[in-house]
Amino acid sequence: MKIDILTLFPNMFNGVFEESIIKKAIDNEKVTINIYNFRDYTNDPHNKVDDTPYGGGAGMVLSCQPIFDCVESLKEKDTKVILLTPSGIPYKQKMAYDLSKEKHLIIICGHYEGFDERILSICDLEISIGDYVLTGGEIPAMVLTDSIVRLIPGVINEMSHLEDSFNENYLLDYPTYTKPREYRGMEVPEVLISGDHKKISEWRYNESLKKTKERRPDLLNRGDRNV
């Protein structure tokens, strides 16, 4: 897979993709990640990439030309172009799975007061990572990249993500424990050391359901649940 990220602040990505699982995925040639400053594509003599909004209002709006030219220079036959914006589709784990199967992603980081609406004409998907406002799309781009790369076959053990929270049944993860068996008076549940895999599986499911009811009851009302 190849992921191209378009941003005005490429230095924000320094270090993020040079550690842990993403670095290993890059080193093992499971993914190629490129960062492009779309200011390099502007035709404006003063290197501007934005302008005041028609109709008035606060802030500056990203212009079409540099983003159009940058995307068109990178786009291939199988490319999916994503725009990160608060008005996009809420990002979910299923979307991460779907995107991990793509060959080439272009992720556009918005900034300033917004973007020219005509930029949507070259995008396949608008995504929001939550109902809050960030300075720009750089952090959401990191979130998408991390969540997608770990799902690429061969990057991590498949069971590690099959048992993730929000996967398939949209339940939160069950509690996990490791050695020692007792710590400061707190003991590992007896069922987990019983060796009875059926009982362990039932306990884990019930604990996931309990935790979800307590902390995220909204997940239990999803129409696409499979519990």
Here the CATH number for the domain that contains residue 82 is 3.40.1280.10
Task: State whether 130 and 207 are in the same domain.
Answer: no
| Residue 226 lies inside a defined structural domain of this protein | no
Per-residue pLDDT at 161 exceeds 80: no
Of 50, 120, 130, the closest CA to residue 86 belongs to 130
| Residue 41 lies inside a defined structural domain of this protein | yes
| Residue 38 lies inside a defined structural domain of this protein | yes
Q: What percent of the chain has pLDDT over 90?
A: 78
| Residue 189 lies inside a defined structural domain of this protein | yes
With DSSP H G I counted as helix, E B as strand and the rest as coil, what are the percentages for the chain, rounded to 5? 40, 20, 40
Q: Mean per-residue pLDDT for 9-16?
A: 94
Task: State whether 137 and 177 are in the same domain.
Answer: no
Task: State whether 170 and 119 are in the same domain.
Answer: no
Task: State whether 172 and 144 are in the same domain.
Answer: no
Per-residue pLDDT at 167 exceeds 60: no
Task: State whether 23 and 113 are in the same domain.
Answer: yes
Measured in Å, how far apart are the chain's first and last C-alpha atoms? Answer: 32
Helix axes 93-100 and 138-149, enclosed angle (nearest 10): 70
Task: State whether 177 and 75 are in the same domain.
Answer: no
Q: Mean per-residue pLDDT for 173-200?
A: 94
The pTM of the full predicted model, rounded to 2 decimals, is 0.83
Task: State whether 109 and 184 are in the same domain.
Answer: no
43, HSE (Cβ side, Cα atoms, 13 Å): 7
Task: State whether 84 and 147 are in the same domain.
Answer: yes
CA 199 to chain centre: 34
| Residue 227 lies inside a defined structural domain of this protein | no
| Residue 210 lies inside a defined structural domain of this protein | yes
Q: Where is average pLDDT lowest: 83-97, 163-177, 201-215?
A: 163-177
| Residue 152 lies inside a defined structural domain of this protein | yes
Number of domains in the chain: 2
Alpha-carbon gap, residue 26 to 149, rounded angstroms: 9
For 47, the domain range is: 2-158
Task: State whether 91 and 9 are in the same domain.
Answer: yes
Parallel, antiparallel or unpaired: strands 125-128 and 182-183: unpaired
Task: State whether 77 and 130 are in the same domain.
Answer: yes
